[in-house]
C-alpha cells in the first residue's frame, strides 16, 4: 500500500467502495447512462466514496459480512471454514480530500455450527490447525483527487496493492461499484513465506440516497470474492491449488445493530471494542495475521 497513485479512476484505490458522483442532486433525475458517466467524475467521487464506504464528519460507520473460505484443487471447490467479519471506520478532512481510518475484525467459524473456532481442520491433510482471530489495523488511507496515500504496510508485513475500481452500473435507483485489488504480502521476518491475494468487492447503494447532500452516511450492501495462494498456516507446502472466498453483507449505522452472531464474539473476546468502538480506532495497529 505504498506510493501515490495518479488520477485515473480505474487505477486508484481512492475509488474503493465509492458510489460515484451521485452526491449531486442533479444526478438523481439523469438517465442511467448519463448518471454512470457522471459518477466517474473525480470532483464528486471523493464525497460519494466517503459517504458510502465511511461517513462524513466524526460519524462512525460499521460494516458486517459473513463469508466462506474454500480450497480449489483439481478444479474442485472444498469448503474450509466460515468467517464473521466486521469493520469500524471514521474519517477526517485533509487538504484536498479526506483520510479514512478503519479496523477490520475477522473471526473464523465452524462450518457446521457457525460458532467461532480457533481450530480449523484441513480437509486435504486431515490436520487440525490453530487459527486465531485476525484483527487488521487500525489503518489510515488518505484520499485526494490527485492521488491516494497508503501506509507502507502493517505490523510485520509490507503490502503492495494494485487496484482497479470504478462505477460498474447505474440502473434505476441502484448503483454498483466494482472494486478489484491484487495485493502482494511480504513478511518482514527473514525467511517468512509470502503470498498474494486478489479481492473483488461489489458495493450497491441507492441513487436517491447518494443524491441527498444532507445524508452523511449512505446505506449500502456488499458482495465479496477473493482468490489467493495457500496461506502458510494451512501447511499445504507445494501442493497445487488456491484459496477462494465468497461473502456478502451490509452497512450499519450503529455497532450494536450488527448481527448477534458477530456481537456475541466481540462481547466475549473484545468487550472494550463493544463498549467504545471509536476508541478502537485510536489504538496501535494489531500485528498482521492473514
Q: What is the pLDDT of residue 161?
A: 75
Assigned domain for 286 exists: no
Q: Which tops the pLDDT comparison, 49 or 136? A: 136
Q: How far apart are CA 249 and CA 255, in angstroms?
A: 14
pLDDT for 44 beyond 90: no
Residue 1 forms part of a structural domain: no
Q: What is the per-residue burial (b if ≥16 Cβ within 10 Å, else e) of 125-141? A: eeeeeebebbbbbbbbb
Residue 272 lies in a domain: yes
Q: Answer whether residue 85 shows pLDDT above 60.
A: yes
Q: What distance in Å separates the CA atoms of residue 216 and residue 45, rounded to the nearest whole number?
A: 14
pLDDT higher than 80, residue 154: no
| Residue 93 within any structural domain of the chain | yes
Range in 65-69, 141-145, 165-169, 199-203 with the lowest mean pLDDT: 165-169
Q: What is the pLDDT of residue 201?
A: 87
The percent of residues in the chain predicted with pLDDT above 70, rounded, is: 81
Q: Could you tell me if residue 199 is inside a domain?
A: yes
Residue 262 resides in a domain: yes
Q: Please check whether residue 4 lies inside any domain of the structure.
A: no
Q: CA dist 170 to 10, 30, 204, 214, Å?
A: 17, 10, 10, 21
Name the least confident of 107-111, 161-165, 217-221, 274-278. 161-165
Q: What is the per-residue pLDDT across 214-246, written as a single tens digit (0 to 9) for each?
A: 899 999 999 999 999 998 889 998 899 999 999
This prediction's pTM: 0.82
Mean pLDDT of 8-35: 44
Confidence (pLDDT) at 33: 62
The structural domain count of the chain equals 1
Report the pLDDT value the prediction gives residue 7, as an integer from 0 to 100: 34
* 94 torsion bin: left (phi>0), alpha (psi -120 to 50), beta (else): beta
Task: Give dist(CA 230, CA 185) in Å, integer.
Answer: 12
Confidence at residue 31, expressed as pLDDT on a 0 to 100 scale? 60
Predicted local confidence at residue 47, as pLDDT? 80
Q: Provide φ and ψ at 232, rounded to 5°.
A: -60, -35
Find the range with the poorest average confidence among 24-33, 124-133, 215-224: 24-33
| Helix/strand/coil (H/E/C) assignment for every residue in 127-154 | CEEECCCEEEEEEEEEEECCEEECCCEE
Residue 26 is predicted with a pLDDT of 44
Supply the range of the domain harboring residue 14.
9-281
DSSP state of 229: P
% of the chain at pLDDT higher than 90: 48
Phi, psi of 221 (to 5 degrees): -125, 155
DSSP string across 51-118: HHHS-STT--EEEEEEEEEEEEETTEEEEEEEEEEEEEEEEEEETTEEEEEEEEEEEEE-TTT--B-S
**Average pLDDT estimate for 209-213:** 86
Mean pLDDT on 251-269: 96
Q: Is 17 contained in some domain?
A: yes
Amino acid at each position: 500500500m505504498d506510493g501515490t497513485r495518479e488520477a485515473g479512476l480505474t487505477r486508484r484505490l481512492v475509488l474503493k467502495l465509492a458510489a460515484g458522483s451521485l452526491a449531486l442532486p442533479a444526478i438523481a433525475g439523469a438517465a442511467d447512462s448519463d448518471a454512470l458517466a457522471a459518477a466517474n467524475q473525480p470532483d464528486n467521487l471523493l464525497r460519494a466514496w466517503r459517504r458510502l464506504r465511511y461517513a462524513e464528519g466524526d460519524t462512525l460507520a460499521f460494516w458486517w459480512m459473513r463469508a466462506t473460505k474454500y480450497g480449489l484443487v483439481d478444479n474442485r471447490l472444498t469448503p474450509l471454514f466460515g468467517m464473521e467479519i466486521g469493520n469500524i471506520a471514521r474519517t477526517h478532512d485533509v487538504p484536498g480530500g479526506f483520510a479514512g481510518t478503519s479496523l477490520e475484525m475477522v473471526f473464523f467459524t465452524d462450518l457446521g455450527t457457525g460458532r467461532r473456532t480457533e481450530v480449523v481442520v484441513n480437509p486435504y491433510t486431515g490436520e487440525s490447525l490453530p487459527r486465531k482471530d485476525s484483527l487488521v489495523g487500525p489503518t489510515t488511507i488518505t484520499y485526494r483527487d490527485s492521488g491516494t496515500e497508503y501506509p507502507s504496510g502493517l505490523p510485520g508485513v509490507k503490502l503492495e496493492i494494485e487496484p482497479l475500481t470504478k462505477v460498474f452500473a447505474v440502473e434505476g435507483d441502484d448503483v454498483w461499484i466494482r472494486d478489484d485489488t491484487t495485493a502482494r504480502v511480504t513478511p518482514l521476518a527473514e525467511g517468512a513465506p509470502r503470498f498474494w491475494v486478489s479481492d473483488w468487492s461489489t458495493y450497491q447503494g441507492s441513487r436517491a440516497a447518494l443524491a441527498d447532500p444532507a445524508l452523511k452516511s449512505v446505506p449500502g450492501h456488499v458482495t465479496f470474492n477473493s482468490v489467493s495462494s495457500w496461506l502458510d498456516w494451512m501447511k499445504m507446502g507445494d501442493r497445487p491449488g488456491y484459496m477462494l472466498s465468497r461473502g456478502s453483507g451490509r452497512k450499519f449505522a450503529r455497532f450494536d445493530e450488527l448481527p448477534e452472531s458477530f456481537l456475541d464474539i466481540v462481547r466475549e473476546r473484545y468487550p472494550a471494542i463493544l463498549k467504545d468502538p471509536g476508541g478502537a480506532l485510536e489504538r496501535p495497529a494489531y500485528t498482521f495475521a492473514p
